[in-house]
Structure 1
Amino acid sequence: MELDRIDARLLDLVQRNNRLSSEDLGAKVGLSASGVQRRLKRLRSDGIIESDVSIISPKAVGRNVTAFVLISFERDRADIIDRFKRTISKMPEVMSGFYVTGQADFVLLVTASDMEDYEYFTRRLVHEGSDIKRFETMVVLHRAKAGFTVPMESIACW
């Protein structure tokens, strides 16, 4: 889908603050509120806007441990990969999961209330993923930046 400069500006604004009203957005991009609503509806139906979410502080809700988990498999087979994707999609502790190139097959962003909770998660994950060859954890000491903002400058200048 072609995106024009107004689409790009709208996308930039809503990904930074999805609570802006159509009137506020319209004032910032030079459209009426109904014009903004039509564009946002199209951007959602075309799959450009995947979701409207709020980013929650894990610590504020008792999730005091954040970790990156690198997973490598014994064999690189489609059925193993697909099964693992289904498994992690059902695990609420997995905030994000990526099938990657390099030394690991998957990188997971995981949250837990404490190390005991994390250990319980790892036992379930290893039990479900019997083809796991290597499992490496990197515990986050400090979250320097969090977000899902995609740079829009390359799409259209505003």
Structure 2
Amino acid sequence: MDLDRIDRKLLIAVQRNNRLTTEELGELAGLSATACQRRLKRLRDEGVIEADVAIVSPAAVGRPMMMLTFIGLERDRADIIDRFKQAIRRTPEIMSAYYVTGEADFVLAISVRDMVEYEAFTRRFFYEHPDIKGFKTMVVMDRIKATLALPIDE
């Protein structure tokens, strides 16, 4: 899909604040509220906007700890990779996951209440998957930036 200047302005604005009204977005983009609404619908329908989300404070919901975990799989086979991707999608503690190149096969961001919960998670998720060769975990000490916003040239 080709994005024009107005589409880009709308995308920049909704990434910063998805609670803006179509009237406010229209003012920013130089459109009527109705035209703005049509463009946003098209951007959603065509998959440019994948989701409208809120960034929630982990501490506010009792999940103050985050782990970044590097996973190595036993073998590089499509069925093993696909099976592991499905397991990741079914696991709510995994906030984001990436299939990567380099020393690890996957990098996961995992949300937990405390080390006891993380230890239980590792037993359930890592140790019960026979295709996992190993994993390394880093504990996040401070969340510096939390965004899903992509840089978009206007």
Same fold at TM > 0.5? yes
| Segments of 4+ moved more than 6 angstroms | none
Tell me how far apart the structure 1 counterparts of residues 107 and 115 of structure 2 sit (CA, whole Å): 19
The DSSP-based 3-state class of the residue aligned with 2:3 is coil
Who is 2:97 aligned against? 97
- Seen in structure 2, the aligned counterparts of structure 1 residues 36 and 128 have a Cα distance that, compared at 3 Å, is farther
Partner Cα separation in structure 1 for residue 129 and residue 95 of structure 2: 18
Q: How far, CA to CA, are the matches of 2:46 and 2:109 in structure 1?
A: 27
Query: Hey, what does 1:75 align to over in structure 2?
Result: 75
Question: Gaps spanning 5+ residues in structure 1: where?
Answer: none
Judge conservation of contact 1:95–1:111 (CA < 8 Å) in 2: yes
| Corresponding residue pairs, total | 154
Q: What percentage of aligned pairs have identical amino acids? A: 58
Assess if the C-alpha contact under 8 Å between 1:71 and 1:134 holds in 2: yes
In 1: Cα distance, 2:120 partner to 2:146 partner: 25
Q: Identify unmatched segments of 5+ residues in structure 2.
A: none
Q: Is the 8 A contact 1:87 1:128 kept in 2?
A: no
Greater relative contact order (Cα < 8 A, sep 6+):
1
Q: TM-score, normalised by structure 2?
A: 0.98
Alignment of 1:1-158 (within 5 A): 1-153=1-153, 157=154
Q: TM-score, normalised by structure 1?
A: 0.95
State how far apart, in whole Å, the 2-side matches of 1:138 and 1:9 are: 37
